[in-house]
Amino acid sequence: MSSPDITYLEREAVAAVMQTSRLSMGPEVEAFEAAVSRYVGIKHAIAVSSGTAGLHLAVRALGITDGDWVITTPFSFAASTNVLLYERAIPVFVDVDPDTGNINTDLMAAAAADLIAGGKKASRWLPRQGKEPTGILRALLPVDVFGQAADYDSIQAISAEHDLRVIEDSCEALGAQYKGRQAGTLGDIGVFAFYPNKQITTAEGAMVVTDRDDVAELIRALRNQGRAPGDKWLDHTHLGYNYRLDEMSAALGRVQMSRLDELLQKRERVAAWYEDRLAEIPGVELLHITPTTSRMSWFVFVVRLEDGIDRKRVAEQLDEQGIPTRPYFTPIHLQRYMTDRFEYQPGDYPVTEDLSRRNLALPFSGILSETQVERVCDCLRRALES
Ligand SMILES: *Cc1c(COP(=O)(O)O)cnc(C)c1O
């Protein structure tokens, strides 16, 4: 489905760390953090062991806890919701924009007003199980889906009106720009992830970014077993975690950051090949890039099959040709642990479910050749014709 783009530069940097005795908490993590904060233009960048860990620390750092409501999207990778459940907060889903798959900010605004009004109005937005309107709306957690930022002018207006914090799940959007502003910097806290299918990789790893000094200090402490500044190795001011990134991974990330523009350009070129060839294939819709996206940071290449096309059959036919595909995403509210706990049902978030039914992610990475893209498109065309 995807493939990291690793050169001798990365291999040498990782090997160099292994010549030293500093395998954790050393200069590579600091250099990697500095590279990310410089690139996105933000005060603090804190390297962590995964995107999920980073989002969890964001939730902890903002004090989101038992029964708090957080408005988020069901059209995402499960981690963006799971980190709320870890702290016993209640994710309040609103549906997404059909063009981009990003959270629908009109619905977000309506939900925020109703949740704050409380009572029956609030109940409308809550899951069947957990309807007691006793929570407090604390935050918004939009996701920048597929490398395109959500509508942050609207999100910032909602957050300002109701004094809500914003966690930006930018795990799929390093390098993307919203009206010229960097994705990840548009809320109180942003998170970029570096699993091997992302725009850059550290194998496992992620970066939390924020301009807020208090939040950065707390996240650094929580990442490192709760050690506050001044704590000795066996002192723990906070209930913390081991969410640190090791030096080898950080060295890999530092070199990948130095190549970020090259990596994004290569991904852009592959996406353009796909767009060219798929434009002529009936039954295939391409991802809509909204005017607010001044830079798309291609994460996956997802096509939307026209209503009535049997996606499973198309996927199987591609698979027989050795071409893997994925149905991006399975709605979070319909995952087994979510229906068990909150009693969600099919039909609760129709736009999300429609996208989930029709979306198909094609093989995508910056190192695909034009010939490979052509072959995928030919096979897709044939599968659709048969
Ligand atoms: C990749 C991703 C994450 C984080 O994933 P990890 O595997 O924990 O690094 C979080 N949210 C979204 C939307 C993602 O795509």
pLDDT digits (tens, 9 = 90+) for 327-377: 989 999 999 999 999 999 999 999 999 999 999 999 999 999 999 999 999
Span 32-45, pLDDT tens digits: 999 999 999 999 99
The pLDDT score that the predictor gives to residue 129 is 85
| Rounded Cα distance, 150 and 71, in Å | 14
* CA distances (Å), origin 274, targets 120, 199, 260, 363, 371: 48, 18, 21, 10, 11
Locate CATH 3.40.640.10 in the chain: 8-259
Ligand 1 pocket test, candidate residues 56, 59, 77, most atoms within 8 A of CB: 77
The reply to whether ligand 1 has any atom less than 6 angstroms from the CB of 171 is: yes
The pLDDT score that the predictor gives to residue 105 is 98
The reply to whether ligand 1 has any atom less than 6 angstroms from the CB of 206 is: yes
The reply to whether ligand 1 has any atom less than 6 angstroms from the CB of 74 is: no
Closest atom of ligand 1 to 204 CA is 9
Ligand 1 pocket test, candidate residues 56, 57, 80, 189, most atoms within 8 A of CB: 80
The pLDDT score that the predictor gives to residue 19 is 98
How many A from CA of 205 to the centre of ligand 1? 10
Query: What is the arithmetic mean of pLDDT over 65-79?
Result: 97
Span 164-217, pLDDT tens digits: 999 999 999 999 999 999 999 999 999 999 999 999 999 999 999 999 999 999
The residues, any chain, with a CB within 8 Å of residue 185's CB and separated by 6 or more, are 40, 41, 42, 168, 209, 211
The pLDDT score that the predictor gives to residue 133 is 74
Span 237-290, pLDDT tens digits: 999 999 999 999 999 999 999 999 999 999 999 999 999 999 989 999 999 999
The pLDDT score that the predictor gives to residue 115 is 97
Locate CATH 3.90.1150.10 in the chain: 261-385
The pLDDT score that the predictor gives to residue 64 is 98
The reply to whether ligand 1 has any atom less than 6 angstroms from the CB of 51 is: yes
The reply to whether ligand 1 has any atom less than 6 angstroms from the CB of 169 is: yes
Q: In this structure, how many other beta carbons lie within 10 angstroms of the beta carbon of residue 294?
A: 12
The reply to whether ligand 1 has any atom less than 6 angstroms from the CB of 2 is: no
The reply to whether ligand 1 has any atom less than 6 angstroms from the CB of 172 is: yes
Q: Say if CB 207 and CB 54 are below 8 A apart.
A: yes
| Rounded Cα distance, 46 and 30, in Å | 9
Span 285-335, pLDDT tens digits: 999 999 999 999 999 999 999 999 999 999 999 999 999 999 989 999 999
Indicate whether 134 pLDDT > 90.
no
Q: Say if CB 144 and CB 133 are below 8 A apart.
A: no
How many A from CA of 225 to the centre of ligand 1? 22
Percent of the chain with pLDDT over 90: 97
For 8-259, CATH number? 3.40.640.10
Task: Name the residue with the closest Cα to ligand 1, atom 9.
Answer: 51
The reply to whether ligand 1 has any atom less than 6 angstroms from the CB of 52 is: yes
Ligand 1 pocket test, candidate residues 2, 52, 332, most atoms within 8 A of CB: 52
Dihedral of alpha carbons 120, 125, 131, 137, sign? negative
Task: Name the residue with the closest Cα to ligand 1, atom 4.
Answer: 51
For the full predicted model, state whether its pTM sits above 0.95.
yes
Closest atom of ligand 1 to 197 CA is 1
How many A from CA of 73 to the centre of ligand 1? 14
Is the CATH number 2.60.40.2480 carried by domain 261-385? Answer: no
Task: Name the residue with the closest Cα to ligand 1, atom 13.
Answer: 77
Closest atom of ligand 1 to 55 CA is 10
How many A from CA of 117 to the centre of ligand 1? 33
Percent of the chain with pLDDT over 70: 99
